[in-house]
Structure formats: C-alpha cells, structure tokens
A and B are shown apart, each in its own frame.
Chain A
C-alpha cells in the first residue's frame, strides 16, 4: 500500500466534506495535494480515487451549482448528513450483546464487515469491550465457497448463474437465479429466489453448488416480490404434511434408547426380553429408514405399510451394491429425510469418544 495514496484520499474526503458547493475536478486538483501534473494521468487517478471512496461507502454526490451561480460543469461533494453515522448511544448491556454479535461470524467476508462496523461504532463512542455476561457463544460459519458471491448478489439485487448438483440427479445442471435471500438452518446455507429456468421460486443448498457463482445480469434488476419471507420459503418444504399416525413397535429390552426417548405406552411383553411401545410418525419414507437403523433391536408390528417399508429397506441393504435408482425430483424429500433423523455431522463423528 502507499502512504501517499492514503494521504491523498484522506485529503480528498476532507476537502469534499468541507465544501457546500460542488467542486469541479479542476478545483479538486488545485485543492488536494498529490495529483500529477499531466491531465491524462490526473484523470485516471481521480477516477480510481472516486471508485475507492465509493467502495469505502463514502457518499460521493455528483452535480452542478447552476442555480447558485456556479457553472454548468459537473462537480463533486460529500454531503455531511449522508456521510455521518447518526448518533448512537448504547447502555452497557446493549454494548455487551453487540460485542457478542460481532464475534458470531467465523469466516472472512462477514467477520470483516462486523469488525468494520464495530470500529465505526467505537468511533461513535460506543464501548464494546464490555465483558459479556450472556454466557453463550454463538458461531456462524459461512465457509461455503458460494457464500460471498451469493451474498453480494443478494445485496446488489443481481441475477446469478451457477452449476448445481441436486440430490438424486445424475449430473450437474446450469441454473439461472434471481436471488432473494440467503438463509441458514442447522449450520447449512440455502439461497432462495426466482429460478429463471423453472419459472418459479426455488431453494438451493450452497454446498451443492459446484464451481463459481457468476453474475447473470446487471445489479439492481432483481425485485423481491412484496410479502416474500425468505426464511419461510427456505424452511417450509411445501409438500403437504401428513397427519401423525401411531406405530406399534417392539423394542429390545435395554436397547433402542433413541426411539425410547419419545415412545409412549412402553410395557414389557413376554419373558421381559422385549417391550412394546407406541411411536408417532408422519412419513413412512422417512420413518422406515430411521427404524431400520436399529437393526434387530426394533420390530414394527403395525401399521402394515410401515412394516413393509422397513422390510424393503432391510432387503435393500442386503442387496447393496447395485445402483438401481436414479431419483425423480427428490431433492427436498431426501433433504428433509436426512434432517429429520440424522445425527448431524458433528454428532455422528464426534460421538462415541
């Protein structure tokens, strides 16, 4: 980095903040030290400087002072009321939760933004070093490679394109999306938006995006429809929820602790080697694999469709190796099935130590 450039940009900000009139490029060149003599070089450097200030979030206003007797030539200024952070005063308990919030983000993009915000709030007089008495430390990971590009696209209302490998799909497909929002649940990120290929709203999981997310249109061209709640779209899976049904099962005595945690009417049967219990379920396709996981510690007695589904599941395990199935459009079903019954990554592998 160059100290001289920082100095020049600083002078430029101070100069444009101090002026009420629009200053022309030529006036700026005279007022701010550090610009080169050559017209061409000055023009290039000034353009770059303006761009840098905009990236920094400095509101650079372009206009002219015709009515004020100025010329028609275009000029620049920074209106202080657009530049300045309004007053903000936080009590110690408020500052403590703010400090906690600033530590939430684990990865570069959002973590840096949070630090930048904290810096400005400190500058405004907020004391953020208050030790938190909250007793809880939340962390959010935005490690998906697609996250930064999608966040920028959402922020800038810009359409994107990317390759997507859906669950149950045999190949990746190019998808074109007008992104409305990005949301996270259980540590996994999803992007919600209008799918230009399917002509309807869709949800994509970031971990299934392969390769780069690239802009697919100019900024400002995505409109989030009135009343859209990205959270609801992402987590409302849309398929009609079946009514809960009771299942009668046998659980091996002393085993199947998982199902026992929410079983009711548990009673010993026979010689005490087994218990009979009632479990509640909604979806056979999700529940049968969950029960199969307990192998011969769980036996389904009723209803017949669930019993049959578990038998088929176990037969499929025996027949393993043959890939008979490519899926229909089962992205969501597969997802939810996994959500409902999985030990998540951390648990599964971290467990048993």
Chain B
C-alpha cells in the first residue's frame, strides 16, 4: 500500500541544465533575445534561472549575441544589447526578436501531456486546460498534428467518496488537501486481503504509471505512504487540521515506486510462454530466458502473501521455484481449496 520514502526532495527543475552541443546553445541564444525583448528588461540572475544556466554562461551567451556581424553587402551588427548594472536590455534585435516555432517533438510533448491531464476526472482546471490546448494548437500550427498519434490514458479512479456524497474520492481528497484537513481511510490491502482503517494527513495527489495515488502522512505507520485511489473503500474528511511533520519527505516518484529493501524475500518463478505477462507487470530483479518462450524471473518483496495469490492465479502458466517453503504453501492452499469442492 505504501512505498518507502527517500531522503530526496521530489521537486525537479522544469528546465534541465543546458546541454553542451552547439545546436542546443543556438536554440538558447535564439530564445534569449525574444525573452528579453518581451520583458523590456530582465535581471541577469532571473534570466539565468529561466534558462537553467549560470550567470557566467549567460554573460558569455550575451557577448556572443552582441558579436553577431554580417559582412556583406555592407558590414553591420544587427543585435544591440546591454547588461549594464546586471539588467539585460535589447535595443536592437533585428530579425530574431521573436522565438522560433515549436518543433513537432516540442508541440507533441506538451499537447500529449495536456490532453492526458484533461483525461483526469475532477481536475478543477478543466476550463483552463481546454483553453491552453486550443492556444497551443493554434500557435504550433502544423507541428501540432502529429500529437494526436500519441495518447496517454489515466485510470483515475472516481468512485464515490462514501455514502450520500456526490463527491468523487479524487475530488474529496483535493478539497481536503486544499483545506489542510485530515482524512480517515478504509483502505483495502490486496496482499493481505484485508481492509485497514487509518487516519492520514494528505500531502498531494500523484498520477504514476497510469494510477492515481494519495501521498500522505499515515498516522498509523508514522511515515509517508502512498494510497492507491481505487483501493480506498471508504473516505471521510475529518474536522481536524492535517499535521504533516516538517521532516516528512515527499516520495521521489521519478525514481520509481518500487524500492527494494535488504530485508526483502527473493522469490524465483518459472513461467510458461503464457505466463510471461508476469515479467511485464511486476518489477523483476532478473529475467532469464529459458528457451521456447519460457522465463525464469526473480521478484523481491517484503511480504510473500501476494506471491501465493499470484501463483494460484497463474495455474499452469507458471510456478514458484524458490523458496521451497513458499512453493509448498501454494500447494497447500490449492489442496485445501480443492477439499472444499470435495476433492482432496
């Protein structure tokens, strides 16, 4: 139900540090002039931050722009700028006063992401989303066309947030986060096939690998935990302010949700060709081809109960090889179940 926290903040810069090829730098230079032109004057530090470079690099960029020179038919310098007193101004920008059009990749990366967001139910900013999609499509022109060939679907669970409520779980959680309120969850844990009751101080909502999660401080575990929204069987927003401890670190979702731990048990499974889907659905420590489409995979897990369930579901598609005790446990499960059908 939850992932371990890492001591790393989740925030990542929207603009990556400048790459070092000359075309990347050229792209930056071509954006830098209109960036300043559109703002009349910009502080060096602010511009450096916006472009993800150091001030020193930025000054080198500005010097390079200032040096632009055409020699024929008559020599002249088309760009005139200054950064005196730490404020950049552009007096003359000639033909590069406006930014370059979006490339197909660029337009697609934004449009696909925006349309994915539009697919998340109960996002209050739906209106802003459709406006920005329309504006971007129009600004990107022909480059926008290809973006329809890529789509990301989000399985955002919208189940009702309890009796009498017409709010969805997602909507109710958003409200709780905005209002800074504690929530009470009835949370289904499939690995143990049980419902758990817990109070959680919500931190934020995440959509990762197509699923929606609540990240929050779980007062039962006294740790940051992720809760998958479609496992929330009951939700009530409490009349208590949320108290997320100052040292509660958000989970670094970019590093993946699965965190192996030294205490994990290693489980080895052998899969038939029809059981290969297991390697797609679970993070495997190793995957080994055994020939004729058969696989041997090693999973790591802190709790082997769900693996027993997996083995029962696999039937003839695969079997647990190790640990032997787990394999024996699965056979016992199957034998006891068969006994219920009068077959010992």
A99-B14, A123-B34, A167-B276 as given contacts; A181 in contact with B151, CB under 8 Å? yes
Q: What residue in chain B is nearest A119 (Cβ atoms)?
A: B31
Give the residue name and chain of the A residue nearest to B255 (CB): A106
Asked if B153 and A183 make an inter-chain contact with CB atoms under 8 angstroms apart, the answer reads yes
Residue of A nearest to B106 (CB): A117
Q: Are A119 and B51 in touch, CB under 8 angstroms?
A: yes
CA distance A332 to B213 in the complex (A): 28
Contact check: which of A27, A55, A119, A182 meets B28 at CB < 8 Å? A119
Q: A14 contacts B79, CB within 8 Å?
A: yes
Task: Kindly state the separation between the CA atoms of A214 and B330 in the bound complex, as whole angstroms.
Answer: 44
Tell whether A43 is near chain B: CB-to-CB under 8 Å.
no
B315 close to chain A: CB less than 8 A: yes
The answer, among A5, A119, A140, A297, for a CB contact under 8 Å with B27, is A119
Q: How far is the CB of A114 from chain B (nearest CB, A)?
A: 4
Contact with B67, one of A7, A110, A349 (Cβ below 8 angstroms): A7
- Given the interface pairs A311-B338, A314-B338, the reply to whether A326 lies near B293 with Cβ below 8 Å is yes
Please pick, from B16, B191, B283, the residue contacting A352 in the complex, using a CB distance under 8 A: B191
List the one stretch of B1-9, B160-168, B241-249 in contact with chain A.
Answer: B1-9
Are A165 and B293 within 8 A (Cβ)?
A: yes
| B103 CB within 8 Å of chain A | yes
B324 within 8 Å of A (CB atoms)? no
Q: Is the CB of A14 within 8 A of B149?
A: no
- Tell me the residues in window 172-194 of chain A with beta carbons closer than 8 Å to chain B beta carbons: 180-188
* Residues of A within 8 A of B (CB-CB), count: 152
By beta carbon, the residue of chain A nearest B115 is A101
Residues B23 and A56 in contact, CB atoms below 8 Å apart: yes
State whether A315 touches B94 (Cβ < 8 A): no
Inter-chain CA distance A87–B139, complex, in Å, is 7
Scan A86-119; emit 1 where CB is below 8 A from any B CB, else 0: 1111110111111111111110011111111111
A-B contact pairs, 5 of them (CB 8 A): A86-B138, A101-B113, A122-B35, A136-B206, A317-B312
Known contacts A136-B174, A138-B120, A183-B151: A84-B98 contact under CB 8 Å: yes
Q: Contact check, B228 vs A347: say whether CB atoms are below 8 A apart.
A: yes
Q: How far is the CA of A140 from the CA of B88 in the complex (A)?
A: 37
Contact A135 B178 (CB under 8 A): yes
Give bound CA distance, A183 to B128, whole Å.
Answer: 24
Q: Are A325 and B14 in contact (CB under 8 A)?
A: no
CA A316 to CA B335, docked complex, whole Å: 11
Residues of chain A contacted by B318 (CB below 8 angstroms): 320
Given contacts A141-B208, A315-B343, A348-B281, 18 further A-B contacts (CB under 8 A): A1-B22, A1-B25, A83-B98, A88-B136, A103-B12, A116-B105, A129-B50, A136-B120, A137-B206, A140-B116, A187-B211, A289-B314, A292-B315, A296-B340, A317-B330, A317-B331, A330-B274, A344-B209
Contact in complex: B151, A230 (CB < 8 Å): yes
Contacts of A256 in B (CB 8 A): 193
> Taking each of B34, B178, B210, which has the highest tally of chain A beta carbons within 10 Å of its own beta carbon?
B210
Q: Is B132 an interface residue (CB 8 A)?
A: yes
Neighbouring B residues of A168 by C-beta, 8 Å: 273-274, 276, 293
CB of A135 within 8 A of CB of B272, answer: no
* B209–A186 CB distance below 8 A: yes
Which of A97, A109, A325 has the most chain B CB atoms closer than 10 A to its own CB?
A97
B325 at the interface (CB under 8 A from A): no
With known contacts A114-B113, A257-B194, A289-B315, A346–B334 Cβ distance under 8 A: no
Shortest CB distance A324–B (Å): 6
Inter-subunit contact B29/A10 (CB<8 Å): yes
Interface residue from A89, A101, A186 paired with B117 (Cβ < 8 Å): A101
Give Cα A33 to B116, complex, Å: 47
> Given A6-B64, A136-B123, does the pair A320, B316 have CB atoms closer than 8 Å?
yes
In the complex, the answer to whether A33 meets B71 with C-beta atoms within 8 Å is yes
B283:A154 contact, CB within 8 angstroms: no
Chain A residues 312 to 353 lying within 8 A of chain B, measured CB to CB, are 312-327, 330, 334-335, 338, 341-353
Pairwise interchain contact B123-A115, C-beta atoms closer than 8 A: no
